Amino acid sequence: MKIIDGGILAAKGFSVASCATGVKRTKVDMTLLVSDVPAEVAGAFTTNVVRAAPVNYDSAVLKKGKPIRAILVNSGNANACTGKVGIEDVHTSASMTAEELGCLSDEVMICSTGVIGVPLEMEKIEKGIRYCSRNLSCEKDKAHESALAILTTDTFAKEVAVEVTVADKSVRIGGMAKGSGMIHPNMATMLSFITTDANVDRTYLQSLLGSSISTSYNMISVDGDTSTNDTVLVMANGTAGSPLIDADSEFEEVFREAFTYVHTELAKMIVKDGEGASKFVEVSVTGAKSDEDASLLARSVVSSSLVKAAFFGADANWGRILCAMGYSGASFDPSKVTMRYRSEKGKIVVVEEGTPLNFDEELAKKILGENVINLDIILEDGSSEAMSWGCDLSYEYVRINGDYRS
């Protein structure tokens, strides 16, 4: 696997266009991603019962099992909790985009992100659709502009791309994502879009997306909130000319590794850009009784507000970590837990096999004062392991979310 540039346009046969519609005051806030040919699509959506109109629309399109041509995304307005008008606006957007591209409306998916409970300004949306549809480009620098167009409170664009070899053919997978606040396991306030020029069986692609999400987006936490618009969409257009990849393909493992890498890197970027965050925390759980127990433990620790606050204060309060493990629902033996903090300043064991150690508090403070921190939780219950990613909880988080609408 080779890391390459190009983001969402690294894969062949895709083009984008972005513009500032005016939904956001000054920045680009719409992007249109188009495949030259019909592309197989896979998707995953929010677990929140309150779902935005675009989420319900995309879910219905996905269930049809047909290839798609395009994804239209706007930021600044979530089109969530907007009643019948919101539903009508989604269908209008899809129909208008399809007419501009010369395809069917159910070959277009729609995504929105931003403020909840405010109807779309359709005059601005329609103007943006016309512009984007008529200014599509496959130039790689346009990928970055597209990644910028989907951001809300994010501070940087999130892009990644890789290349692998499948039967002597170069196959590329690229992606972009947005997410900063309202991030919690079981999807988050995030949009993620993946393109690949591989020839991938649709059923396999959907299954692969599900398994990749379980170890990437479902293992991150910023603040414990989930949203109405969370969406991950994958388009595979087969333009690389590689053999079909499915569950029985000899190239399945190579493709799976690259595909999962893209999602995991995007997930990590979302956490690193957590609202008000000053520290990136990676939690590793090893020696768990089962994969489920390992995941539950890692997710519970990284989601705890008290643990996040301790990381913000560079406080080696491992009791909060053990407490979070205890209410995770996982089965483990607390009397055999070992914990270790690591960063560029060194490493320190604070509890060993359930026994508190008289550790160097000054060294622990230095270790936890770094921007990137690793927490190792070592159990003696089995051979399963899991990783999760999170950040600290700061004063800045409250400031950002206190005036989000203004």
How many angstroms separate the CA atoms of 25 and 76, rounded?
Answer: 9
How many angstroms separate the CA atoms of 234 and 294, rounded?
Answer: 28
How many angstroms separate the CA atoms of 207 and 302, rounded?
Answer: 26
* For range 170-180, the mean pLDDT: 91
Q: How confident is the model at residue 189 (pLDDT cuts 50, 70, 90)?
A: low
* For range 156-160, the mean pLDDT: 94
Cα 382 to Cα 291, 336, 386, distances in angstroms? 10, 12, 12
What six digits make up the tokens of 32?
Answer: 């249109």
Per-residue confidence (pLDDT) for residue 186, from 0 to 100: 47
Burial of 134 (0-12, 13-18, 19+ CB in 10 A): exposed
* For range 170-193, the mean pLDDT: 73
Per-residue confidence (pLDDT) for residue 183, from 0 to 100: 39
How many angstroms separate the CA atoms of 315 and 326, rounded?
Answer: 20
Q: How confident is the model at residue 180 (pLDDT cuts 50, 70, 90)?
A: low
What six digits make up the tokens of 1?
Answer: 């696997």
Listing DSSP states for 246-259 in one string gives -TT-TTHHHHHHHH
Residue type, 89: D
How many angstroms separate the CA atoms of 329 and 326, rounded?
Answer: 7
Coil, helix or strand for 348? strand
Per-residue confidence (pLDDT) for residue 27, from 0 to 100: 87
User: Where in the chain are the domains?
Assistant: 2-272, 280-402
Q: How confident is the model at residue 184 (pLDDT cuts 50, 70, 90)?
A: very low
Cα 340–Cα 343–Cα 346 angle in degrees, nearest 5: 75
Residue 93 has φ and ψ, to the nearest 5°, of -65, -45
346-352, strands of its sheet edge to edge: 220-221, 384-391, 280-288, 372-378, 338-343, 346-352, 355-356
Give the count of beta carbons closer than 10 Å to the beta carbon of residue 285: 27
DSSP secondary structure letter of residue 244: P
Per-residue confidence (pLDDT) for residue 226, from 0 to 100: 61
CATH topology of domain 280-402: Ubiquitin-like (UB roll) (3.10.20)
User: Which residues have C-beta within 8 Å of that of residue 134, sequence separation ≥ 6?
Assistant: 17, 100
pLDDT digits 0-9 by tens, 41-96: 999 998 788 899 999 999 999 999 999 999 999 999 999 999 999 999 999 999 99
How many angstroms separate the CA atoms of 389 and 222, rounded?
Answer: 9
Return the percentage of the chain with pLDDT > 90, whole number: 79
Cα 34 to Cα 209, 235, 249, distances in angstroms? 20, 10, 27
pLDDT digits 0-9 by tens, 1-20: 999 999 999 999 999 999 99
DSSP secondary structure letter of residue 218: G
What six digits make up the tokens of 405?
Answer: 């609408």
CATH topology of domain 2-272: L-amino peptidase D-ALA esterase/amidase (3.60.70)
Coil, helix or strand for 383? coil
DSSP secondary structure letter of residue 345: T
Average pLDDT, the chain: 91
Sign of the torsion formed by the C-alpha atoms of 27, 78, 264 and 394: positive
How many angstroms separate the CA atoms of 117 and 50, rounded?
Answer: 12
Helices of type H across 161-201: none
Instruction: Give the catalytic positions in this structure.
Output: 189
- Does position 188 have pLDDT exceeding 60, yes or no? no
How many angstroms separate the CA atoms of 44 and 46, rounded?
Answer: 7
Which of 266, 265, 239, 200 shows the shortest CA–CA distance to 15? 239
pLDDT digits 0-9 by tens, 318-376: 999 999 999 999 999 999 999 999 999 999 999 999 999 999 999 999 999 999 999 99
Per-residue confidence (pLDDT) for residue 102, from 0 to 100: 97
Listing DSSP states for 4-29 in one string gives -S-GGGSSTTEEEEEE--SSSSSS--
Residue with the bigger pLDDT between 274 and 170: it is 170
DSSP secondary structure letter of residue 187: S
How many angstroms separate the CA atoms of 302 and 374, rounded?
Answer: 11
How many angstroms separate the CA atoms of 17 and 5, rounded?
Answer: 18
